[in-house]
Amino acid sequence: MIEVYTDGASSGNPGKSGAGVYIKASGKYYEYSIPLEDMTNNEAEFHALIKALEICLEQFPEEILSFRSDSQTVVQVIDNDFTKNKSFLPLLETVRELTSKFPYFFIKWIPEKENNHADKLARKAIRHGETN
């Protein structure tokens, strides 16, 4: 099982944003700091999850994924597989498509203090990155 911690951050809401992805797999650790376009903090949280799924698809196909996020909004939308928010709907559809490619996908809400590593990576992306 692969443990994946994700966090999105925005400088302003909306504003310059970044995604942080921290992966624990087979005793090794992987870190990703990914610049994002200007967006809201909640959108950045979704994009961090999507980026992490894309990384896992490339590097850890066929693995069981256990995701952790400090975004209650993202976790609730994914757990319920439903949102009324029109800006989240295409993001949810992308998550559905990506998670369907794995044997099992779990997501759990964790407090911010347990997600420090992903948070630092997301903030680093804002400070140092250029939008891809």
Contact predicate 96/53, CB 8 Å: no
At residue 132, the pLDDT reads: 40
pLDDT for 129 equals 66
Q: pTM value?
A: 0.95
pLDDT in tens, 29-82: 999 999 999 999 999 999 999 999 999 999 999 999 999 999 999 999 999 999
Domain span at 97: 2-128
The CATH number given to whatever domain includes residue 53 is 3.30.420.10
Domain count, the chain: 1
CA 60/CA 121 separation, integer angstroms: 20
DSSP 77-130: HHHHT--S-TTTHHHHHHHHHHHTTSS-EEEEE--GGG-HHHHHHHHHHHHH--
